[in-house]
């Protein structure tokens, strides 16, 4: 029988990296604070972003046009996020102020997703702690941008739809509507975290289970094991290609919803 807990280890945080043939690297504690595998992978994702974009930014700041396939690819992705995500969701007048955040959140989620496809690494976005932290950051940006645009009081009162209500009904209904809107705001960002978590977690677990069939049928006859192995390898390969697409898709969805929530905070009812 396949051990589901073992199958899901790729999307579980740990205090060490485990490699084939029993090799593993234990992560240290720093002043009593335990470093975990996902923390290391998140730092790796951030360093990869710096290594990729700092030289490109310096080249663009110097006025030199981008050359090469990588530079053109990054430029195309950045322009797409600006023209097809940020500006339609936030508005052309305000979008450029939030582009650094949208670009950063997209590529950080993307790089974390792609690291999850590397054997014996792990998927930080398959852990609730990571996706919840990203959702909290988005929530703070949304609330901060709304309060900056409308004022500390105007943002919260502006969440209530404008309705012509008699005095008594207004006293009763408007506080209720404000509470409902605040709860809805929190739920939207909670769903933002759970959506990314569920998609990344499910994909990795399904791949692990399919590969686990190879070990599960090892004690059986050779013909059965060979057939299951061939089918499992083909299935895992197809699902990994699908996971590559999902890595880009979920990064896009997270960035798009973040931009949409920012636009809703700035342009209220």
Residue 162: pLDDT band with limits 50, 70, 90: confident
Per domain, the residue ranges of the chain are 4-266
Cβ within 8 Å of residue 90, ≥6 positions away: 98, 259, 262, 263, 266
pLDDT of residue 10: 61
DSSP code per residue over 224-242: HHHHHHHHHHHHHHHHHHH
Distances (CA, A) of 26 to 14, 17, 129, 233: 9, 7, 21, 30
pLDDT, average across residues 36-59? 90
Residue 4: pLDDT band with limits 50, 70, 90: very low
Q: Is the pLDDT of residue 128 over 80?
A: yes
pLDDT of residue 217: 75
Residues in a beta bridge with 11: none
Cβ–Cβ < 8 Å for 101, 141: yes
User: What's the pLDDT tens digit per position in 193-210?
Assistant: 999 988 888 777 777 777
As given in the structure block, the two tokens for residue 219 are: 């004690």
pLDDT, average across residues 155-184? 81
On average, the pLDDT of the chain sits at 84
pLDDT of residue 140: 95
User: What's the pLDDT tens digit per position in 53-77?
Assistant: 888 888 888 877 777 788 888 889 9
Q: Is the pLDDT of residue 86 over 90?
A: yes
DSSP code per residue over 128-196: HHHHHHHHHHHHHHHHHHHHHHH-HHHHHHTTS------HHHHHHHHHHHHHHHHHHHHHHHHHHHHHH
pLDDT of residue 174: 81
pLDDT, average across residues 259-269? 87
Percent of the chain scored above 70 by pLDDT?
Answer: 93
As given in the structure block, the two tokens for residue 79 are: 């322009």
User: What's the pLDDT tens digit per position in 22-35?
Assistant: 677 888 888 888 88
Of residues 265 and 5, more confidently modeled: 265
Residue 255: pLDDT band with limits 50, 70, 90: very high
Q: What is the pTM (predicted TM-score) of this model?
A: 0.86
pLDDT, average across residues 6-12? 59
* Cα gap 149→142, rounded to integer Å: 11
pLDDT of residue 2: 43
Cα–Cα nearest to 123, from 205, 190, 52, 192: 205
Of residues 64 and 8, more confidently modeled: 64
User: What's the pLDDT tens digit per position in 212-245?
Assistant: 777 777 777 777 777 777 887 787 788 778 888 8
Q: Is the pLDDT of residue 109 over 60?
A: yes
């Amino acid at each position: 029988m396949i051990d589901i807990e073992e199958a899901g280890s790729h999307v579980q945080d740990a205090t060490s990296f485990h490699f084939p043939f029993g090799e593993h690297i234990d992560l240290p504690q720093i002043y009593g604070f335990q470093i975990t595998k996902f923390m290391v992978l998140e730092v790796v994702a951030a360093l990869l972003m710096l290594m990729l974009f700092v030289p490109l930014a310096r080249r663009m700041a110097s006025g030199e046009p981008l050359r090469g396939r990588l530079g053109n690819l990054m430029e195309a992705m950045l322009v797409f996020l600006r023209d097809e995500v940020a500006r339609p969701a936030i508005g052309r007048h305000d979008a450029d102020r939030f582009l650094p955040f949208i670009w950063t959140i997209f590529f950080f989620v993307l790089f974390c997703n792609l690291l999850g496809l590397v054997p014996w690494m792990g998927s930080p976005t398959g852990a609730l702690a990571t996706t919840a932290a990203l959702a909290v950051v988005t929530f703070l940006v949304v609330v901060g941008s709304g309060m900056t645009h409308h004022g500390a009081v105007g943002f919260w009162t502006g969440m209530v739809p404008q309705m012509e209500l008699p005095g008594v009904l207004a006293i009763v209904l408007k506080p209720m509507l404000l509470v409902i809107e605040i709860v809805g705001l929190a739920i939207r960002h909670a769903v933002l975290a759970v959506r990314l978590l569920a998609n990344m977690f499910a994909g990795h677990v399904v791949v692990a289970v399919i590969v686990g069939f190879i070990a599960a049928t090892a004690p059986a006859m050779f013909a059965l094991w060979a057939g299951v192995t061939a089918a499992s390898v083909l299935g895992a390969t197809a699902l990994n290609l699908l996971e590559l697409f999902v890595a880009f898709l979920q990064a896009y969805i997270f960035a798009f919803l973040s931009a949409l929530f920012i636009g809703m905070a700035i342009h209220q009812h």
